Structure 1
Amino acid sequence: MYDERLSAPRSWWLLPVLAGLSLALIMLRFGPVPAVVGLVAGVVLGAAALSGYGSARLRVVQGSLVAGDARIPVDALGEAWPLDRAETLAWRTAKADPRAFMLLRSYVPTALRVEVSDPEDPTPYLYLSTRSPERLAAALEAARAEQPRG
């Protein structure tokens, strides 16, 4: 079993406050009450957007890899390669294949690249931002080993 939430860094939580202040300054020309409403609305909407962006999860459960909204059986996956910082950057830019499934979070410095072995699937590989690429690769291998052969 593996479970990781790709939550945004703490420093990013300053962004909703700045959005609220910006909206408050814009609304200030209409009076102090609209400015306060703008402040509250900007902070709440910014926090909701950031929370939604940081709610992506990676899980290995019941013989499947769950990456964000995607659910892929582990028997449809091939070899997994943990990527260091340099390789992570290369695979999200110059080496990237537009057909690949990418669960990308720029604030996560490492990733895992997993080959897709299903011949019916046009996706060549999965690129998964993860803070623990070795642990995720091990969880996928363990889940694959638990699958009944047949």
Structure 2
Amino acid sequence: MATNSNLTARGGETERSNLALGRLGDFVGFRLRRVQNQLSRKFAAANADMGLRSGLFSSLAIVAANPGISQSELSSEVGLDKSVTVTIIDELEKYGWAERRRSPDDRRRHALYVTPEGDRQLDRLFARMEEVEGAVLHSLTEAEHQMLNDVLDRMYDAVVREL
């Protein structure tokens, strides 16, 4: 059964909410989205000086981890519509953080690569992400954190298999 441990941010302070989750509390998707929304909001606030669009950081990080990835592979991995992914790649190129190159294997597709400037920005963004998530993850032990990652990875694999 769902418990009510809702915390909300109001006026820069966090307080316990008296709102019940009701039946939504029984669904993992809602609980995951609720945490993700709060972390995204805090990450966006931490990076307001950069004016980053949603999805830009994760896309850049995936490209860095997978040099030569195609636009469609990136779109699939980050869960964004292909047209949104193209816009994000355009923006990454505009910032000078990534570049498209013709794939050596298939001239019809673009391979994506992070530039040295993109690597510098990733270091900066990951440091900020560590600050944002560190404030939340301190409530978990290292074993719980690892278990959470393992469970989330298994859930992701199950969802992708269903598609």
**TM-score computed with the length of structure 1 as normaliser:** 0.28
The structure, 1 or 2, with the larger RCO (C-alpha pairs under 8 Å, 6+ apart) is 1
Which protein is bigger by CA-based radius of gyration? Answer: 1
**Per residue, is there more strand in 1 or in 2?**
1
